Amino acid sequence: MPCPGCSAEAIENVAIGDRIPVQVTAQRRRETEMRNFERAERAKRARLVERAEWEARRQELREEERISKRNLKL
């Protein structure tokens, strides 16, 4: 017995021996692809933030080194 929410079209699309309508599996695949895409985007943003923080720290160290050298000359 199919689930009450399944349409007649979805029931006709059921693969032989399979009780999950093809439309449902396609929807799950799209949802999985979207989750994977969102996860990749979050990772990309995290890498960009990490890189920006690293660059900022590098600039701070350069500035400290420049000031230190200037103070040694005095």
| Amino acid identity at 12 | E
How far apart CA 71 and CA 38 sit, in angstroms, is 49
Rounded-to-integer distance, Cα 29 and Cα 6, Å: 18
> How far, in Å, CA of 15 to CA of 25, rounded?
11
Report if pTM > 0.85: no
Per-residue pLDDT of the chain (74 residues; tens, 9 = 90+): 556 666 555 555 555 555 666 677 888 899 999 999 999 999 999 999 999 999 999 999 999 999 998 888 76
Radius of gyration of the chain (CA): 28
